[in-house]
Protein backbone atom coordinates (compact mmCIF):
# COMPACT_ATOMS: atom_id res chain seq x y z
CA UNK A 1 0.00 0.00 0.00
CA UNK A 2 2.87 2.38 0.81
CA UNK A 3 4.32 1.97 -2.69
CA UNK A 4 0.94 2.71 -4.29
CA UNK A 5 0.49 5.74 -2.02
CA UNK A 6 3.89 7.10 -3.07
CA UNK A 7 3.11 6.47 -6.74
CA UNK A 8 -0.22 8.27 -6.37
CA UNK A 9 1.54 11.21 -4.72
CA UNK A 10 4.04 11.44 -7.59
CA UNK A 11 1.20 11.21 -10.08
CA UNK A 12 -0.70 13.95 -8.28
CA UNK A 13 2.27 16.32 -8.32
CA UNK A 14 3.08 15.75 -12.00
CA UNK A 15 -0.52 15.88 -13.20
CA UNK A 16 -1.32 18.77 -10.90
CA UNK A 17 1.39 20.97 -12.40
CA UNK A 18 0.42 19.94 -15.93
CA UNK A 19 -3.25 20.62 -15.17
CA UNK A 20 -2.49 24.15 -14.01
CA UNK A 21 -0.61 24.79 -17.25
CA UNK A 22 -3.51 23.40 -19.24
CA UNK A 23 -6.10 25.50 -17.42
CA UNK A 24 -4.01 28.65 -17.87
CA UNK A 25 -4.13 28.04 -21.62
CA UNK A 26 -7.80 27.18 -21.80
CA UNK A 27 -8.82 30.22 -19.74
CA UNK A 28 -7.30 32.48 -22.38
CA UNK A 29 -9.84 31.11 -24.84
CA UNK A 30 -12.60 32.96 -22.99
CA UNK A 31 -11.02 36.27 -24.08
CA UNK A 32 -10.21 35.29 -27.64
CA UNK A 33 -11.42 37.14 -30.71
CA UNK A 34 -14.72 35.80 -32.00
CA UNK A 35 -14.77 33.71 -35.20
CA UNK A 36 -14.38 35.87 -38.29
CA UNK A 37 -17.45 36.63 -40.38
CA UNK A 38 -17.58 37.00 -44.18
CA UNK A 39 -16.83 40.46 -45.55
CA UNK A 40 -18.04 41.73 -48.91
CA UNK A 41 -16.54 44.81 -50.55
CA UNK A 42 -17.71 46.78 -53.60
CA UNK A 43 -16.48 45.43 -56.92
CA UNK A 44 -14.52 48.62 -57.57
CA UNK A 45 -12.50 48.04 -54.41
CA UNK A 46 -8.72 47.66 -54.27
CA UNK A 47 -7.35 44.33 -55.48
CA UNK A 48 -4.10 43.68 -53.66
CA UNK A 49 -4.09 39.96 -52.78
CA UNK A 50 -2.47 37.13 -54.72
CA UNK A 51 -3.70 33.65 -53.80
CA UNK A 52 -1.25 30.75 -54.27
CA UNK A 53 -2.65 27.20 -54.41
CA UNK A 54 -0.01 24.40 -54.47
CA UNK A 55 -1.20 21.18 -56.14
CA UNK A 56 0.11 17.68 -56.65
CA UNK A 57 -2.40 15.10 -57.91
CA UNK A 58 -5.42 17.00 -56.58
CA UNK A 59 -7.79 16.42 -59.53
CA UNK A 60 -10.43 14.81 -57.31
CA UNK A 61 -10.37 17.57 -54.69
CA UNK A 62 -9.36 20.90 -56.24
CA UNK A 63 -12.66 21.86 -57.91
CA UNK A 64 -14.46 23.05 -54.71
CA UNK A 65 -11.39 25.14 -53.90
CA UNK A 66 -11.38 26.80 -57.32
CA UNK A 67 -15.12 27.39 -57.22
CA UNK A 68 -14.81 29.00 -53.81
CA UNK A 69 -11.99 31.27 -54.93
CA UNK A 70 -13.93 32.26 -58.04
CA UNK A 71 -16.62 33.73 -55.75
CA UNK A 72 -14.17 36.05 -54.00
CA UNK A 73 -14.40 39.74 -54.84
CA UNK A 74 -11.99 42.51 -53.88
CA UNK A 75 -9.31 42.54 -52.61
CA UNK A 76 -8.46 39.38 -54.61
CA UNK A 77 -6.30 40.19 -57.64
CA UNK A 78 -5.16 36.80 -58.95
CA UNK A 79 -5.24 33.07 -58.25
CA UNK A 80 -2.01 31.22 -58.99
CA UNK A 81 -2.31 27.43 -59.05
CA UNK A 82 1.22 26.05 -58.85
CA UNK A 83 1.18 22.45 -60.05
CA UNK A 84 4.10 20.13 -59.35
CA UNK A 85 3.72 17.95 -62.45
CA UNK A 86 0.58 16.08 -61.43
CA UNK A 87 -0.14 12.81 -63.23
CA UNK A 88 -3.86 12.54 -62.42
CA UNK A 89 -5.25 15.30 -64.63
CA UNK A 90 -5.07 18.16 -62.13
CA UNK A 91 -3.82 20.56 -64.80
CA UNK A 92 -6.79 19.77 -67.06
CA UNK A 93 -9.22 20.46 -64.22
CA UNK A 94 -7.59 23.84 -63.57
CA UNK A 95 -7.50 24.72 -67.26
CA UNK A 96 -11.21 24.00 -67.58
CA UNK A 97 -11.89 26.48 -64.78
CA UNK A 98 -9.74 29.17 -66.43
CA UNK A 99 -12.42 29.69 -69.08
CA UNK A 100 -14.81 31.13 -66.50
CA UNK A 101 -12.26 32.89 -64.30
CA UNK A 102 -9.73 35.26 -65.93
CA UNK A 103 -7.98 35.76 -62.58
CA UNK A 104 -6.97 32.08 -62.51
CA UNK A 105 -3.49 31.18 -63.75
CA UNK A 106 -1.85 27.75 -63.99
CA UNK A 107 1.87 27.55 -63.31
CA UNK A 108 4.22 24.56 -63.27
CA UNK A 109 7.00 24.90 -60.73
CA UNK A 110 10.64 24.05 -61.38
CA UNK A 111 11.91 20.55 -60.51
CA UNK A 112 12.08 20.04 -56.76
CA UNK A 113 15.62 20.54 -55.37
CA UNK A 114 17.00 17.99 -52.91
CA UNK A 115 17.00 20.51 -50.05
CA UNK A 116 13.29 21.40 -50.31
CA UNK A 117 9.99 19.81 -49.37
CA UNK A 118 7.40 20.03 -52.15
CA UNK A 119 4.79 22.23 -50.51
CA UNK A 120 6.99 25.17 -49.46
CA UNK A 121 8.78 24.91 -52.82
CA UNK A 122 5.50 25.34 -54.71
CA UNK A 123 4.37 28.16 -52.42
CA UNK A 124 7.69 29.92 -52.88
CA UNK A 125 7.43 29.54 -56.66
CA UNK A 126 3.96 31.08 -56.63
CA UNK A 127 5.12 33.96 -54.43
CA UNK A 128 8.06 34.69 -56.76
CA UNK A 129 5.73 34.75 -59.77
CA UNK A 130 2.93 36.78 -58.18
CA UNK A 131 2.01 40.28 -59.29
CA UNK A 132 4.29 42.81 -57.51
CA UNK A 133 1.26 45.06 -57.04
CA UNK A 134 -0.21 42.57 -54.55
CA UNK A 135 0.51 43.67 -50.99
CA UNK A 136 -0.61 40.34 -49.55
CA UNK A 137 0.16 36.71 -50.42
CA UNK A 138 -2.51 34.20 -49.36
CA UNK A 139 -1.64 30.49 -49.42
CA UNK A 140 -4.69 28.25 -49.81
CA UNK A 141 -4.57 24.44 -49.84
CA UNK A 142 -6.21 22.58 -52.71
CA UNK A 143 -8.38 20.45 -50.40
CA UNK A 144 -10.10 23.46 -48.85
CA UNK A 145 -13.48 24.95 -49.66
CA UNK A 146 -13.24 28.76 -49.40
CA UNK A 147 -16.55 30.39 -48.55
CA UNK A 148 -17.76 33.72 -50.00
CA UNK A 149 -16.23 36.69 -48.21
CA UNK A 150 -13.10 34.82 -47.07
CA UNK A 151 -10.36 36.93 -48.69
CA UNK A 152 -11.82 40.29 -47.71
CA UNK A 153 -12.42 39.07 -44.15
CA UNK A 154 -8.94 37.73 -43.50
CA UNK A 155 -7.26 40.84 -44.92
CA UNK A 156 -9.54 43.14 -42.93
CA UNK A 157 -8.77 41.23 -39.72
CA UNK A 158 -5.01 41.39 -40.41
CA UNK A 159 -5.20 45.15 -40.92
CA UNK A 160 -7.37 45.68 -37.83
CA UNK A 161 -5.00 43.68 -35.62
CA UNK A 162 -1.87 44.95 -37.41
CA UNK A 163 -0.77 41.40 -38.17
CA UNK A 164 2.05 40.73 -40.62
CA UNK A 165 1.07 37.06 -40.84
CA UNK A 166 -2.40 35.73 -40.19
CA UNK A 167 -3.74 32.20 -40.63
CA UNK A 168 -7.13 30.72 -39.92
CA UNK A 169 -8.37 27.52 -38.35
CA UNK A 170 -10.94 25.90 -40.66
CA UNK A 171 -14.19 24.03 -40.24
CA UNK A 172 -13.47 20.33 -40.72
CA UNK A 173 -15.50 18.02 -42.95
CA UNK A 174 -15.63 14.48 -41.59
CA UNK A 175 -17.66 11.55 -42.90
CA UNK A 176 -17.00 8.08 -41.49
CA UNK A 177 -17.46 7.17 -37.79
CA UNK A 178 -13.74 6.39 -37.61
CA UNK A 179 -12.84 9.93 -38.69
CA UNK A 180 -15.31 11.42 -36.22
CA UNK A 181 -13.72 9.33 -33.46
CA UNK A 182 -9.99 9.87 -34.15
CA UNK A 183 -9.71 13.31 -35.74
CA UNK A 184 -11.02 15.33 -32.74
CA UNK A 185 -8.57 13.49 -30.47
CA UNK A 186 -5.69 14.42 -32.77
CA UNK A 187 -6.91 18.02 -32.99
CA UNK A 188 -7.08 18.17 -29.20
CA UNK A 189 -3.32 17.52 -28.98
CA UNK A 190 -2.84 20.93 -30.64
CA UNK A 191 -5.43 22.70 -28.50
CA UNK A 192 -3.81 21.35 -25.33
CA UNK A 193 -0.27 22.27 -26.40
CA UNK A 194 -1.04 25.77 -27.65
CA UNK A 195 -3.57 28.57 -27.22
CA UNK A 196 -6.89 28.49 -29.04
CA UNK A 197 -7.43 30.32 -32.31
CA UNK A 198 -8.23 33.95 -31.58
CA UNK A 199 -5.96 34.31 -28.51
CA UNK A 200 -3.74 37.38 -28.87
CA UNK A 201 -0.10 37.93 -27.90
CA UNK A 202 1.25 34.39 -28.08
CA UNK A 203 4.89 33.68 -27.28
CA UNK A 204 7.01 33.16 -30.43
CA UNK A 205 7.88 29.58 -29.50
CA UNK A 206 4.20 28.64 -29.14
CA UNK A 207 2.77 30.55 -32.11
CA UNK A 208 0.37 28.45 -34.14
CA UNK A 209 -0.36 28.71 -37.85
CA UNK A 210 -2.33 26.86 -40.48
CA UNK A 211 -1.10 26.66 -44.05
CA UNK A 212 -4.58 25.84 -45.33
CA UNK A 213 -5.26 29.59 -45.14
CA UNK A 214 -2.04 31.53 -44.57
CA UNK A 215 -1.84 35.28 -45.25
CA UNK A 216 1.44 37.19 -45.25
CA UNK A 217 2.44 40.72 -46.18
CA UNK A 218 4.57 40.72 -49.34
CA UNK A 219 7.20 42.96 -47.74
CA UNK A 220 7.51 40.58 -44.79
CA UNK A 221 7.77 37.51 -47.02
CA UNK A 222 10.47 39.27 -49.04
CA UNK A 223 12.36 40.17 -45.85
CA UNK A 224 12.20 36.53 -44.73
CA UNK A 225 13.54 35.31 -48.09
CA UNK A 226 10.27 33.71 -49.14
CA UNK A 227 9.73 30.18 -47.88
CA UNK A 228 13.42 29.31 -47.82
CA UNK A 229 13.50 29.34 -44.02
CA UNK A 230 10.99 26.47 -44.10
CA UNK A 231 12.46 24.67 -47.11
CA UNK A 232 12.91 21.30 -45.34
CA UNK A 233 9.99 21.61 -42.96
CA UNK A 234 6.97 19.31 -43.09
CA UNK A 235 5.10 21.97 -41.09
CA UNK A 236 6.30 24.96 -43.11
CA UNK A 237 3.38 27.12 -41.93
CA UNK A 238 4.31 26.91 -38.24
CA UNK A 239 8.04 27.08 -38.97
CA UNK A 240 7.71 30.29 -40.98
CA UNK A 241 5.28 31.86 -38.50
CA UNK A 242 7.55 31.17 -35.51
CA UNK A 243 10.65 32.51 -37.23
CA UNK A 244 8.71 35.63 -38.17
CA UNK A 245 7.48 36.06 -34.58
CA UNK A 246 11.03 35.65 -33.25
CA UNK A 247 12.13 38.44 -35.60
CA UNK A 248 9.54 40.81 -34.22
CA UNK A 249 6.74 40.48 -36.77
CA UNK A 250 3.17 40.25 -35.52
CA UNK A 251 1.65 36.81 -36.11
CA UNK A 252 -2.00 35.92 -35.59
CA UNK A 253 -4.10 32.77 -35.63
CA UNK A 254 -7.87 33.28 -35.73
CA UNK A 255 -11.00 31.17 -35.98
CA UNK A 256 -12.08 30.90 -39.61
CA UNK A 257 -14.81 28.26 -39.24
CA UNK A 258 -17.29 30.58 -40.98
CA UNK A 259 -14.94 31.23 -43.89
CA UNK A 260 -13.19 28.05 -44.97
CA UNK A 261 -13.86 24.31 -44.78
CA UNK A 262 -11.53 21.43 -45.41
CA UNK A 263 -11.82 17.74 -46.16
CA UNK A 264 -8.28 16.80 -45.21
CA UNK A 265 -8.19 13.02 -45.37
CA UNK A 266 -10.34 10.12 -46.46
CA UNK A 267 -11.01 7.66 -43.65
CA UNK A 268 -9.43 6.86 -40.31
CA UNK A 269 -6.37 5.18 -41.84
CA UNK A 270 -5.34 8.17 -43.93
CA UNK A 271 -6.05 10.51 -41.00
CA UNK A 272 -3.71 8.44 -38.83
CA UNK A 273 -0.93 8.29 -41.43
CA UNK A 274 -0.99 11.70 -43.09
CA UNK A 275 -2.04 14.16 -40.40
CA UNK A 276 -0.27 12.32 -37.62
CA UNK A 277 2.96 12.52 -39.61
CA UNK A 278 3.31 16.28 -39.09
CA UNK A 279 1.14 16.92 -36.04
CA UNK A 280 4.09 16.83 -33.65
CA UNK A 281 5.48 20.03 -35.30
CA UNK A 282 9.03 18.90 -34.60
CA UNK A 283 10.38 20.87 -37.56
CA UNK A 284 9.28 24.05 -35.77
CA UNK A 285 10.20 23.00 -32.22
CA UNK A 286 13.51 22.41 -30.46
CA UNK A 287 13.83 18.77 -29.26
CA UNK A 288 13.79 19.59 -25.53
CA UNK A 289 10.54 21.53 -25.85
CA UNK A 290 9.02 18.90 -28.13
CA UNK A 291 9.53 16.10 -25.62
CA UNK A 292 8.38 18.30 -22.76
CA UNK A 293 5.16 18.80 -24.74
CA UNK A 294 4.87 15.03 -25.27
CA UNK A 295 5.14 14.41 -21.53
CA UNK A 296 2.58 17.16 -20.93
CA UNK A 297 0.16 15.52 -23.37
CA UNK A 298 0.61 12.16 -21.68
CA UNK A 299 -0.24 13.63 -18.28
CA UNK A 300 -3.32 15.66 -19.29
CA UNK A 301 -4.71 13.84 -22.33
CA UNK A 302 -3.22 10.42 -23.01
CA UNK A 303 -3.25 8.85 -19.55
CA UNK A 304 -6.18 10.28 -17.53
CA UNK A 305 -8.76 7.85 -18.90
CA UNK A 306 -6.41 4.93 -18.21
CA UNK A 307 -5.40 6.18 -14.76
CA UNK A 308 -8.99 6.94 -13.79
CA UNK A 309 -10.11 3.41 -14.71
CA UNK A 310 -7.14 1.73 -13.03
CA UNK A 311 -7.37 3.75 -9.82
CA UNK A 312 -11.09 3.12 -9.54
CA UNK A 313 -10.43 -0.61 -9.75
CA UNK A 314 -7.83 -0.33 -6.98
CA UNK A 315 -10.05 1.75 -4.73
CA UNK A 316 -11.68 -0.42 -2.07
CA UNK A 317 -11.31 -1.69 1.44
CA UNK A 318 -7.64 -2.61 0.98
CA UNK A 319 -6.76 0.56 -0.94
CA UNK A 320 -8.45 3.64 0.45
CA UNK A 321 -6.16 6.56 1.30
CA UNK A 322 -6.05 10.28 0.60
CA UNK A 323 -3.60 10.36 -2.30
CA UNK A 324 -5.55 7.64 -4.11
CA UNK A 325 -8.79 9.57 -3.74
CA UNK A 326 -7.14 12.79 -4.86
CA UNK A 327 -5.60 11.05 -7.90
CA UNK A 328 -9.01 9.66 -8.86
CA UNK A 329 -10.56 13.11 -8.45
CA UNK A 330 -7.87 14.85 -10.51
CA UNK A 331 -8.09 12.38 -13.38
CA UNK A 332 -11.87 12.55 -13.27
CA UNK A 333 -11.61 16.34 -13.48
CA UNK A 334 -9.31 16.09 -16.50
CA UNK A 335 -11.84 13.82 -18.20
CA UNK A 336 -14.61 16.35 -17.51
CA UNK A 337 -12.45 19.09 -19.02
CA UNK A 338 -11.82 16.90 -22.06
CA UNK A 339 -15.52 16.22 -22.66
CA UNK A 340 -16.23 19.90 -22.06
CA UNK A 341 -13.76 20.75 -24.82
CA UNK A 342 -15.88 18.70 -27.22
CA UNK A 343 -18.69 21.21 -26.69
CA UNK A 344 -16.26 24.09 -27.21
CA UNK A 345 -14.91 22.83 -30.55
CA UNK A 346 -18.21 21.48 -31.90
CA UNK A 347 -18.63 24.50 -34.24
CA UNK A 348 -15.29 23.56 -35.84
CA UNK A 349 -17.00 20.64 -37.59
CA UNK A 350 -19.25 20.89 -40.62
CA UNK A 351 -22.37 18.77 -40.23
CA UNK A 352 -24.58 18.70 -43.34
CA UNK A 353 -25.85 15.42 -41.91
CA UNK A 354 -25.25 13.61 -38.64
CA UNK A 355 -24.10 10.40 -40.33
CA UNK A 356 -21.23 8.97 -38.30
CA UNK A 357 -21.09 12.04 -36.05
CA UNK A 358 -22.24 10.09 -32.99
CA UNK A 359 -18.68 8.79 -32.53
CA UNK A 360 -17.47 12.38 -32.04
CA UNK A 361 -18.70 12.22 -28.46
CA UNK A 362 -16.62 9.09 -27.90
CA UNK A 363 -13.40 10.69 -29.17
CA UNK A 364 -11.90 11.05 -25.65
CA UNK A 365 -11.58 7.26 -25.75
CA UNK A 366 -9.14 7.77 -28.65
CA UNK A 367 -6.89 10.10 -26.63
CA UNK A 368 -4.31 7.43 -25.68
CA UNK A 369 -4.08 6.51 -29.37
CA UNK A 370 -3.75 10.15 -30.45
CA UNK A 371 -0.92 10.85 -28.00
CA UNK A 372 0.76 7.60 -29.08
CA UNK A 373 0.66 8.92 -32.65
CA UNK A 374 2.41 12.10 -31.54
CA UNK A 375 5.11 10.04 -29.82
CA UNK A 376 5.63 7.93 -32.95
CA UNK A 377 5.78 10.99 -35.17
CA UNK A 378 8.17 12.81 -32.84
CA UNK A 379 10.51 9.81 -32.99
CA UNK A 380 10.64 9.61 -36.79
CA UNK A 381 11.43 11.75 -39.83
CA UNK A 382 8.86 11.54 -42.64
CA UNK A 383 10.09 9.63 -45.70
CA UNK A 384 7.16 10.50 -47.94
CA UNK A 385 4.54 13.21 -48.13
CA UNK A 386 1.56 13.47 -50.44
CA UNK A 387 2.97 10.76 -52.70
CA UNK A 388 6.50 12.17 -52.85
CA UNK A 389 9.46 10.15 -51.61
CA UNK A 390 12.24 12.02 -49.79
CA UNK A 391 15.31 9.76 -49.95
CA UNK A 392 17.31 12.06 -47.68
CA UNK A 393 14.91 11.43 -44.81
CA UNK A 394 15.81 8.93 -42.13
CA distance 222 to 226: 6
- Determine contact, residues 124/211, Cβ cutoff 8 Å: no
Per-residue pLDDT reduced to its tens digit, 140-197 = 999 999 999 999 999 999 999 999 999 999 999 999 999 999 999 999 999 999 988 8
Per-residue pLDDT reduced to its tens digit, 260-279 = 999 999 999 999 988 887 89
Average pLDDT over residues 185-211: 89
| 196 CB-near residues (< 8 Å, 6+ apart) | 25, 26, 28, 29, 32, 255
Cβ burial 161-197 (10 Å sphere, 16+ → b, else e): eebbbbbbbbbbbbeebbbbbbbbbbbbbbbbbbbbb
- Which comes out higher in pLDDT, residue 200 or 219? 219
- Which comes out higher in pLDDT, residue 84 or 310? 84
Average model confidence (pLDDT) across the chain? 92
Average pLDDT over residues 206-216: 95
Stated pTM of the model: 0.93
Per-residue pLDDT reduced to its tens digit, 234-248 = 999 999 999 999 999
20 burial level (CB within 10 Å; 0-12, 13-18, 19+): exposed
Task: Name the fold adopted by 1-384.
Answer: Spore Coat Polysaccharide Biosynthesis Protein SpsA; Chain A (3.90.550)
CA distance 155 to 159: 6
pLDDT score of 393: 47
Of the ranges 111-115, 123-127, 200-204, 282-286, the best mean pLDDT one: 123-127
102 burial level (CB within 10 Å; 0-12, 13-18, 19+): exposed
Q: pLDDT-based confidence at 385, cuts 50/70/90?
A: low
- Which comes out higher in pLDDT, residue 103 or 389? 103
Average pLDDT over residues 11-16: 92
Average pLDDT over residues 299-309: 94
pLDDT score of 394: 36
CA distance 69 to 150: 9
pLDDT score of 6: 78
Amino acid sequence: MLIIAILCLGLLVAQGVASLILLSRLVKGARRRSPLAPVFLPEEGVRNVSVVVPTLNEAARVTPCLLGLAQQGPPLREILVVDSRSTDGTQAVVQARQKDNPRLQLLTDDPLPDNWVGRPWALNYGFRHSDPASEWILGIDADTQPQPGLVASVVQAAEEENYDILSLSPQFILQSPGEWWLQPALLMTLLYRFESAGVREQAPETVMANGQCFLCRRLVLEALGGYELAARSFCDDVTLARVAAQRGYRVGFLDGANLIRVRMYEGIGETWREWGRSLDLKDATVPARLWAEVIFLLLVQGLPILFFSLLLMLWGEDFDFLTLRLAIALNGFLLLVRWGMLLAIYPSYYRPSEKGAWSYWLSPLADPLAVTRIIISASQTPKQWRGRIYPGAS
